[in-house]
Structure 1
């Protein structure tokens, strides 16, 4: 066995080996794993010939494949939903801080790896940026915004960094939309309804939480914006962005093989509804006439086709993007990669109503695997340090000997004399037996304490009853003191004090290595 397990002549050698092992584990989980998954994500290539679901159709024989295509790469991010003090009511404050740190670190390191290796031209968010953005005080909201900006920084190579699509956790939903929260959202993230053009494709973001209200003062601005888009002639492809997915019939419209849960379940609750109503969805499709829809809110992936109510209008594909967060109840967080193109060849013009695109899922590392690895490493480190200290306990025993020779123990034995009036033979017998057992050792000669005497107490005497109570308290106190001495003896005998010292020192160093060497350097 000694040929496979190195012999550690000093505890410092063992600690150095453990630190190096921790360093390797940190490098793998905090650096290599995020970049490995990011490098596995490739931008989908676009051809001129796609169907509505993004798949290619056979090209004509005389069609050239050398047509010049301008491509734009767009990364879509849904539901970061930074957990805060309101996310887990009743959770211990220390555990809550640890949960926030773990979720933030996951988002930060993976977002950085994704943007570094994929180099997107544009980044679009689909709502629910903060878990309790709608009801936070202004001071707390400012603090949470600083967290969001620290995690999701705009890279210098990104042309558009669009965060204007509002979610129900940002402003509320339906008649529960909070006007002050809408104003605060616009100040920090941008206009609630907007449109822009990327590569000659119109990108339209819609405030569907407000549009879902029945109160006119809440839905008025978004309703007018939809009517405005309806009045404008459609001269090119349109992509609609909405936090809340459009209505779908789960029995007919299946979400596809990439969804984790079995089906898309329609429902709602306080300040949320996981799809728009059938009537509102129909109105949006008829007035905006999108060619492609991206939504969020559900956290899981869903890919469906909306059939048009008019024969002249083509069917519309909607993709519900998976959440990027590890805390949203899904096993495999992800972002969506979208490549769109505008053909600049002689046979095509920019007002071509056909959208040319391809899209794919980009998966992040599986959550909690790193936490599991750290727990296993902690157990292994603790066991190895404990093994070393127990193995070298003999030197400590020679230095300190047995506790029976300690002055404190001798003093305790000499003063434990229970008078004849103490009145409880069971206590004295128990104490005598206890002290006998504390000094048993193979190489130590001990003399047991004599059994304490017992004399009946006259219950009619108040003075003797008070004396009995005081003596009982003293006896109990001395029993506890000697019990503590036995614990100390056990710790010294098995060198537990050395184990605590070494494991604590290693733990502090490892935490510092992680925090300053990995987390703060992101």
Structure 2
């Protein structure tokens, strides 16, 4: 007997004693489908909601009961995936990475606006990943003939100007003598010739500069040795549209709410304004109905947006500013001055070089990069005061908060100094929150706190188009200049992708205003990346609660020393979710494989289809021989001699006895007989009852007519499977075929059950990622 026969008998014996295995085969598929539905729903929706709900403002804010804080969300380094992110990945994998990262950020961003309902959303740079590498629109270079023509036109214009000046001079000096007029004419002619000569010399220098391949600062130069030269403005606009669909779309900013802008005249003022002393109504041209409007700031650039230090290109930076707004700015949120600085451009003034920080001569050659940011820092107190004045004018319309005109090219030095002196006299300042994409300098190895995921500190290093922190000297300069706009309450930065919390100590107050320097402790928080593709398993965002009610003079009346509270909010581990799906998939395959093997050995496939398996029916029927007759015949007739019959004869399934008064027609199934029997062997005469054979339905004509049952491949082909008769020529062949059939049954059952579970899981997953 083969081993698989013994295993089958043991399995049947175990099944008869306990029905748990049969229940397992029946309930395995429904339980697995339910497990997949639960896992997908938890991984694709419930987990995201639980993480956002855990960051509820009330769970960590510590303000007085009557406080109405301004609630702000910082989002750092979304850095949407593009061809620059994973350049070595093939097409299908790169497209899937792009779709999954976008869906991850879009879902979390929508839940933030829906569950947390912030007042403001501020991005801390690195909106794109390869934005600095994509070619900008540049004018076509002039040909040599076009350039010569332009030079002639320019010289002609200069000559006409000189002639016009000469005519005006002659009209004014009409009383002069002819000799004096001729002398003046000669001088003016010499001056005109000098001007034309200078123009030609300038053009010659320009041509030599072009021949020497000197680069115009306004022209775009492809980085990484021209690797991304073929990716142009079209790619940048494509990523800009993606960013807008994720963060600017109304369904993302205001989910589950119908918001629209309508014309308005008298609109109820914000409760916080009324509490600060404003009137019940304020005059506006337009208003947003359906809920409060959120303030959205995306103008802070990162090194992946515009480059870093000497690598910043003016055309790239101008493109970013045109689409996202001015980088260096002051906004008033929650009665705090939010000061944003273009740190990547400012780093051109001082960055890590091979010999140390940038020397003054080299910094001067990069003046076109860092000068706008440095000029902003020099006048930051004026910009902050103007923004505060505009905000206070909304709070207290009956007060005059005009601090003079904004400095411009038309304003004289005297007027500018008068405006700055008026600002110094006003002493009207709000606490400052400084925003910089690049963290400020700290000593190497400075601990970032227990909430950091990788390592314990930010490394002080740099490379191509990046630097982990600003230099020490530049950080001190920034802190001192910004402190002129008010006391720095907190600093927020990004770039590192991981969380970091440090405390700086700066000597502030020694610049700008005439006040003695003081040592100030300023906390800085580096915000985690919002994307799960930036090297951190647990992305996150930062919550900031601002509460600083003020009086008409800008003084705080809240009664709280601290005006800002912050909290880290973690997002789901997307990689962990995918790993859990993989574990469940492996468990599903093992369970279904075991189930298929059990069904093939036990024959449950026939049970489930409503038919009884041949093997189980054979083993369940009694096996015996009737010993009532001398020759062992079950029907009372002697067995024919084997020598007289050629070939193997099948046993008759129906035996007939002579009809007597006390005997009835008997039907006896022999050991190997089935429903249909074979004819008696030729040469034997069996007596029939008088009057012929009665019309009995159970008779098979095959028992009377040999030719009617000449079927060599009928249901009795299994005879000998469990017989000890080794002379059966078909027995071995049947055993091999049975083993093959069982393997086939197991494979078919496994494929069918796996298809059912996988189909249900895919349907639920697609529904989850598209509609949940």
TM-score w.r.t. the length of structure 1 is 0.71
Secondary structure at 1:362's aligned position in 2? strand
For the residues of structure 2 that align with 1:6 and 1:318, how far apart are their CA atoms? Answer: 63
Distance 1:92 1:305 in 2: 44
Q: Is the 8 A contact 1:120 1:158 kept in 2?
A: no
- 2:79 — aligned with what? 81
Name the structure 2 match of 1:484. none
Once residues 472 and 550 of structure 2 are traced to their aligned partners in structure 1, the CA distance between those partners, rounded to angstroms, is 38
For the residue of structure 2 that corresponds to 1:314, the secondary structure is: strand
Over aligned residues, Cα RMSD in angstroms? 3.5
Does the residue aligned with 1:286 lie in a helix, a strand or coil?
A: helix
Which string of whole-angstrom CA distances, capped at 9 and with x for unpartnered residues, describes residues 410-435 of structure 1? xxxxxxxxxxxxxxxxxxxxxxxxxx
DSSP 3-state at the match of 1:196: strand
Equivalent residue in structure 1 for 2:127, among 126, 129, 134 = 129
SS of aligned partner of 2:39: helix
Question: Does the aligned pair in 2 maintain the 1:255–1:301 contact within 8 Å?
Answer: yes
Quick one: which of 7, 12, 37 aligns to 1:23? 37
Normalized against structure 2, the TM-score is what?
0.49
Summarize the Cα distance change of 1:197–1:37 in structure 2 as closer, same or farther, 3 Å threshold.
Answer: same
1:262 Cα deviation after fit = 1.8
1:511 equivalent in alignment to 2:762? yes
Partner Cα distance (2:319, 2:745) in 1? 61
Matched with 1:146 is 241
Q: Is the 1:323–1:333 contact (alpha carbons within 8 Å) kept by the matching residues of 2?
A: yes
Structure 2 unaligned residues grouped into runs of 5+? 1-14, 135-231, 260-291, 349-362, 384-422, 509-516, 607-612, 615-729
| 1:328 aligned partner | 534
> Secondary structure at 1:342's aligned position in 2?
coil
The verdict on how the C-alpha distance between 1:109 and 1:443 changes in structure 2, with shifts beyond 3 A counting, is: farther
Change (3 A) 1:298 1:111: same
CA distance in 2, matches of 1:219, 1:520: 45
Cα separation, partners in 2 of 1:198 and 1:498, compared to 1, 3 Å: same
CA distance in 2, matches of 1:323, 1:98: 20
Deviation at 1:209, TM superposition (A): 0.6
**Contact conserved, 2:82 with 2:130, CA < 8 A, in 1?**
yes
2:476 maps to which of 278, 282, 290: 282
Q: Does 1:7 align with 2:23?
A: yes
Shift of 1:244: 0.5
Residue 199 of structure 1 aligns with which residue?
334
Shift of residue 127, structure 1, vs aligned partner:
1.0
Q: Counterpart of 2:104?
A: 106
**Structure 1 CA distance, aligned partners of 2:742 and 2:549?**
78
Shift of the alpha carbon at 1:104? 2.9
Cα distance, 1:298 vs structure 2: 0.9
Deviation per CA, 1:100-137: give whole Å up to 9, x if none: 33333332333333332222111111111222222233
Q: CA deviation at 1:242?
A: 0.9
Indicate the SS of the match to 1:359: strand
Change (3 A) 1:6 1:31: farther
* Residue 183, structure 1, aligned to residue 278, structure 2: no
8 Å CA contact 2:80, 2:127 repeated in 1? yes
- Cα 1:513/1:250, change in 2 over 3 Å: same
Matched with 1:239 is 433
For 1:349-428, what aligned pairs fall within 5 Å after superposition? 349=555, 356-393=563-600
**TM-fit CA distance, 1:6:** 6.2
SS in structure 2 of the partner of residue 98 of structure 1 = helix
Structure 2 residue corresponding to 1:259, chosen from 424, 429, 452: 452
Q: Are residues 506 and 248 of structure 1, via their aligned partners in 2, closer, same or farther at CA, if it must alter by over 3 Å?
A: same
Larger mean CA deviation between 254-263 and 379-388 belongs to 379-388
Q: Distance in 2 between matches of 1:179 and 1:347?
A: 41
Farther-moved stretch of structure 1 (103-112 vs 219-228):
103-112
Q: CA deviation at 1:335?
A: 1.2
CA 1:239–1:22 in structure 2 vs 1: closer, same or farther (change >3 Å)? Answer: same
Distance 1:219 1:332, change over 3 A: same
When residues 128 and 223 of structure 1 are mapped into structure 2, their CA distance, relative to the original with a 3 A threshold, is same
- Aligned CA distance change for structure 1 residues 442 and 170 (closer, same or farther; 3 Å): farther
- Aligned 8 A contact 2:441 2:470 in 1: yes
Look up the SS of the partner of 1:26 in the other structure: helix
1:355, distance to aligned residue in structure 2 (A): 5.7
Question: 2:375 corresponds to which residue?
Answer: 224
**Structure 2 SS opposite 1:343:** coil
How far 1:216 moved relative to its partner? 1.7
Shift of 1:357: 1.3
Change (3 A) 1:347 1:229: closer
- Matched-pair contact (CA < 8 Å) for 2:327–2:341: yes
Kept in 1, the 8 Å contact 2:125–2:494? The answer is yes
Larger radius of gyration: 2
Q: CA–CA distance in 1 between the matches of 2:494 and 2:474?
A: 17
1:4 to 1:313, Cα distance in 2 relative to 1, 3 A: farther
Contact 1:82 1:129 in 2 (8 A): yes
Rounded Cα–Cα distance in structure 2 between residues aligned with 1:129 and 1:325: 11
Give the structure 2 partner of residue 478 of structure 1.
Answer: none
**Structure 1 residue 161 corresponds to structure 2 residue 296:** yes
| Bigger relative contact order, structure 1 or 2 (CA pairs below 8 A, ≥6 apart) | 1
Q: Structure 2 vs 1, CA of residues 504 and 445 (structure 1 numbering), >3 Å: closer, same or farther?
A: closer
- The total of aligned residue pairs comes to 419
Q: d(CA) in 2 for partners of 1:491 and 1:82?
A: 53
The one-character-per-residue Cα deviations of 1:381-400 (angstroms, maximum 9, x if unpaired) are 2233334444455889999x
Question: Could you tell me whether the CA contact under 8 Å between 1:235 and 1:351 is conserved in 2?
Answer: no
1:449 corresponds in structure 2 to: none
Supply the distance in 1 between the matched residues of 2:347 and 2:308 (Cα, whole angstroms). 7
- Name which of 295, 300, 315 aligns with 2:493: 295
Matched residue of 2:733: which SS? coil
Cα distance change, pair 385–442 in 1 and its aligned pair in 2 (3 A)? farther
